[in-house]
Chain A
Amino acid sequence: MSLNKDSKLNKKMFVRGVEQIATRDGFGNGLVKAGELSEKVVALCADLADSTRVNWFRDKFPDRYVEIGVAEQLLATVAAGMANYGKVPFIASYAAFSPGRNWEQIRTTACLNDVPVKIAGCHAGISVGPDGATHQPLEDIATMRAMPNMVVVYPCDSVEAEKATVAISDNGSPSYIRLAREKTPVMTTQETPFEIGKAEVFWEQKDPQVAIIGAGPLLHEAMKAAYRLSKKSNIPSIVINNHTIKPIDEQAIVKAAKLAGCVVTVEEHQVNGGLGGAVSEVLAKNFPVPIEFIGVQDRFGQSGKPKELYTEYGLTAADIISAVKRVIKRKTS
């Protein structure tokens, strides 16, 4: 196995019975931790306290919890006022509604106003499943990363989500953390390094023919793809966990592109404007190489089981392997 030793990853990540925990759970734990670390941390929720796991914070710090009701514009603007005062407000809802419905409020009252509102977008991506397209936000990375002052983090598992939540509670900036509903494999450990803005190499082989750059729980598919490429096709690769989409780790991305000569990006988001877009911007500017994009190809989601949807939308390890083979061909032709 070619797991990067320095990343201290979960060695059982490829085992069938790998532990699975939702990133929203990691957020819930991280928020409690952040609350213990600083009395300034408060939480606001738009009528979804249980499913966003903000109830864990509410039960521990009832005096620092603010119930907003089904009003995401209010959620953002009340939080902006509290952040302006000196609190560190986390606002929690489904990403389809926050930052889906309150984009302008976030832009004006958090980003332009430059106050540290922390937006937790839960139930992001198509893996929300049966609820269907209305509840499957696939554009939130694009809309959040376009804004000056905003930090955008997309943790790959629950352990990283917990660390990311604590990290953004203390970074002084408006920040967006993208979270998923479904239980997903735990890839990292408490010892895995995490620093906002610093991408981590998770899979590392000599003379890689491709660099796979991913973020979020779908990174597990990327790791499976790298494993199979190595075993079955004799294609060495590197896999990068690009958990911070803004500010993006330009150095790590350029280094990977130089090393491998081509890139596949992997995300549960529209290919327009998401992680793939961000990586392309870096490489077009610094070191252009062929890129293939795994993600939702300008379509809306639909009801179904997460697995069915991953297959329908081309987000599986098999799809990543096909993309790797395509991009390597483009490199040599």
Chain B
Amino acid sequence: MEKLHSEEDLEKRANDIRKDIIKMLLAAGSGHSAGPLGMTDVFTALYFNIMNHKPDEPDWEDRDRLFLSAGHIVPVRYATMAHAGYFPKSKLKTLRQFGSDLQGHPERVKMPSLESTSGPLGEGLAQAAGYALAARMDQKRFRVYCVTSDGEHDAGNHWEAVLFAGKNKLSNLTAFVDRNNIQINGHTEEVMPLEPLEDKYRSFNWHTLHIDGHNMREIIDSVNHARAVYEKPTVVICHTVPGKGVSFMENMVEWHGKPPNKEQANQALHELRTLGGKIMSEHE
């Protein structure tokens, strides 16, 4: 598909995707707000710049694969995929509704372009690593990406996968950590401290990077950097603001797992439009 190259275009697109996330969560009446808004910039960069993929040919053999381990933030993936042309945007309103293939947590059987089924935390990186290993056995050239949350780093299965990918030098695998420092029971460093997270990965034989997860240039540069690392898998720790773009959601733990009501959605959309407007006015 046609890629967006300028940061400005990518940022505008991310803003539009954020609006759709708010609208779909309002329509669904349940779901997670903070994570999807926090990872919108990473998903926009992945689908509109980084990944080789063909929305009109979702099973294209040489496509890059994206595993979403933190299945609960799938609204951002649905919204981004709709913008990329995988399905009509009108479908976004069916999120979490009976009969929709936009399940509350992603299901590959219902929508193969999701690549995997996830939701129970700590399992995605291992699947991505298995996939990357199988692809390497067959000398495939595509890359495997995996988006994880910081909260799921509490799970043993995740660290087993970190060990495994390090052992097997899976350089075709790049993992992103949504380092937003919140999880359901509070701040990650209170629930189960993860720091020094980058040191942990490094000691497990990974190449590590940390970036501003809202800076398009840094997101794209990190992936290009990872492509040049041949002996190790790379983790990109993306420092993000949960609820990014909506003032009353930003950094608020209580927005992890709930959708906005009508009034809150209107306010959120207004703020996001204003943000869009600002970008416009700066360039006028």
Nearest CB in chain A: distance from B125 CB, A: 8
Minimal Cβ-Cβ distance residue in B for A111 = B117
A42 to B107, alpha carbons, bound, how many Å?
A: 25
In A36-56, the 8 Å CB interface with B consists of 42
Task: Kindly list the 8 A-B residue pairs having the minimum CB-CB distance in the complex, ordered from nearest.
Answer: A81-B130, A77-B126, A78-B130, A81-B127, A74-B160, A85-B134, A113-B117, A81-B131
> Within the complex, which residue of B129, B137, B156 is in contact with A81, where a contact is CB–CB below 8 Å?
B129
11 pairs across A/B with beta carbons < 8 Å? Answer: A69-B163, A71-B160, A71-B163, A78-B130, A78-B164, A79-B130, A80-B116, A81-B67, A81-B132, A108-B117, A112-B107
Q: Is A87 an interface residue (CB 8 A)?
A: yes
1/0 contact string of B119-138 vs chain A (CB within 8 Å): 11001001111111111010
Nearest CB in chain A: distance from B68 CB, A: 13
Minimal Cβ-Cβ distance residue in A for B119 = A108
1/0 contact string of B92-136 vs chain A (CB within 8 Å): 000000000000000111000001111110010011111111110
B164 and A84 within 8 A (CB): no
In B150-173, the 8 Å CB interface with A consists of 156-157, 160-161, 163-164
Contacts of A74 in B (CB 8 A): 126, 157, 160-161, 163-164
Contacts of A112 in B (CB 8 A): 107, 109, 117
B130 and A77 within 8 A (CB): yes
A74 to B107, alpha carbons, bound, how many Å?
A: 20
> How many residues from A make CB contacts under 8 Å with B?
27
Contacts of B123 in A (CB 8 A): 73, 77, 105, 108-109
Q: Chain B CB within 10 Å — which of A42, A63, A79, A87 has the most? A: A87
> How many residues from B make CB contacts under 8 Å with A?
28
Contacts of A81 in B (CB 8 A): 67, 116, 126-134
B134 and A68 within 8 A (CB): no
Contacts of A71 in B (CB 8 A): 160, 163-164
B109 and A80 within 8 A (CB): no
A112 to B114, alpha carbons, bound, how many Å?
A: 14
A61 to B116, alpha carbons, bound, how many Å?
A: 28
1/0 contact string of A291-322 vs chain B (CB within 8 Å): 00000000000000000000000000000000
A79 to B127, alpha carbons, bound, how many Å?
A: 7
A81 to B130, alpha carbons, bound, how many Å?
A: 5
A82 and B134 within 8 A (CB): yes
Contacts of A82 in B (CB 8 A): 130-131, 133-134
1/0 contact string of A59-102 vs chain B (CB within 8 Å): 00001101011010110011111101111010000000000000
B134 and A73 within 8 A (CB): no
A69 to B115, alpha carbons, bound, how many Å?
A: 26
A114 to B110, alpha carbons, bound, how many Å?
A: 11
A108 and B130 within 8 A (CB): no
A69 to B116, alpha carbons, bound, how many Å?
A: 24
Give residues in B with beta carbon < 8 Å to A.
67, 107-109, 115-120, 123, 126-135, 137, 156-157, 160-161, 163-164
Q: Chain B CB within 10 Å — which of A78, A89, A105, A114 has the most? A: A78
Q: Is A191 an interface residue (CB 8 A)?
A: no
Q: Chain A CB within 10 Å — which of B128, B130, B133, B137 has the most? A: B130
A84 and B116 within 8 A (CB): yes
Given the known interface contacts A108-B117, A108-B118, the answer about A84 and B127 at a Cβ–Cβ threshold of 8 Å is yes
A105 to B157, alpha carbons, bound, how many Å?
A: 9
> Within the complex, which residue of B107, B131, B156 is in contact with A73, where a contact is CB–CB below 8 Å?
B156
Q: Is A19 an interface residue (CB 8 A)?
A: no
Contacts of A68 in B (CB 8 A): 164
Minimal Cβ-Cβ distance residue in A for B156 = A73
Contacts of B67 in A (CB 8 A): 81
Nearest CB in chain A: distance from B88 CB, A: 26
Contacts of B130 in A (CB 8 A): 77-82, 84-85, 89
Contacts of A78 in B (CB 8 A): 126-127, 129-130, 133, 161, 164
Minimal Cβ-Cβ distance residue in B for A114 = B109
B157 and A77 within 8 A (CB): yes
A81 to B67, alpha carbons, bound, how many Å?
A: 10
Q: Is A131 an interface residue (CB 8 A)?
A: no
- What 11 new A-B contacts, CB under 8 Å, besides A81-B129, A84-B116? A74-B164, A77-B126, A78-B130, A80-B126, A81-B116, A82-B133, A82-B134, A84-B108, A85-B134, A112-B107, A112-B109
Minimal Cβ-Cβ distance residue in A for B127 = A81
Contacts of B129 in A (CB 8 A): 78, 81
Given the known interface contacts A78-B126, A78-B127, A112-B107, the answer about A85 and B161 at a Cβ–Cβ threshold of 8 Å is no
